[in-house]
Amino acid sequence: MKKILYSLIAILAMVMSSCSNDDIEVIKTGGVTVNVNTQGVYNEFGISDDISKRIRDDKEGIKVFSFLYDENGNLLTQKESLQFDYNTASFTYNGLAQGNYTLLIVETLVDGSTGESSFWKFENTEKLSEVKVAQLNNQVVFPYVLGVSTEQFSIEGKEQMLSFTPKGIGSMIQFYTFDFAKSDFIDVGFGTDDIIK
C-alpha cells in the first residue's frame, strides 16, 4: 500500500512541477445571426406579385448569398439559402474572434431545380474589393433583379443579430420595336441614368 501511495505522490509531484506560469491567451469569440428580408427588393421594382407567382410552383426560387469577410477584405466563408416564399432568410456565424467584419448579401431569382442563375455569376469573391457579378445571358424574358446589401460590424465577445433588406442595384431588360422600318426616324437610342457595368 505504501508503494502505491509513494507512486501516486511521485506522479503528482511530476505533474505539478511540469506546469508553467506562462500567460494563457484568452481569445474572446462571438457570433452573429443575419436575417434577410427577401421581399423588399421586389417591392422596390413593383414586381413582388409577379415573383410570388413565379416561385409558387418551385420552378424558380429566391436565392440569398451571404459572404463574410474579415477586416482585410478576405473571404472567410459563404452561405446560401434557396426558398420558394418570402420568408426571412437566416444565416448564423459562430465562433468569430473579436474584430471587424463585413457582410455582403446578394439576392436574385434562380432556377428552382438547380439553384443556379442562368443570368448572373459571381467572380473574384475571395477579396471584397474585387467581387464582381457578371452577366451570363443576353436573352432576357423577365426582369431578373439583383439586390445587394453590405454591413460592417464588430465582434466583441457576444451574440449579435443583424437585419438586412437588399436594395436593387440592377435588372436586365429586353425591349422590342415593331414596324420601325415604317418610321421616319433614322436611329433609335436607348440610354440609362448611370453607366452600366
pLDDT tens, 79-95? Answer: 999 999 999 999 999 98
The predicted structure's pLDDT at residue 64? 95
pLDDT, tens digit (0-9, with 9 covering 90-100), for 132-154: 888 787 666 666 788 999 999 99
Among the listed residues 80, 83, 86, the one whose alpha carbon sits nearest the alpha carbon of residue 47: 86
Rounded to an integer, the average pLDDT of 148-167 is: 89
Rounded to an integer, the average pLDDT of 81-110 is: 92
The predicted structure's pLDDT at residue 30? 82
Greater confidence, 52 or 19? 52
The predicted structure's pLDDT at residue 68? 95
pLDDT score of 56 more than 80: yes
Greater confidence, 25 or 139? 139
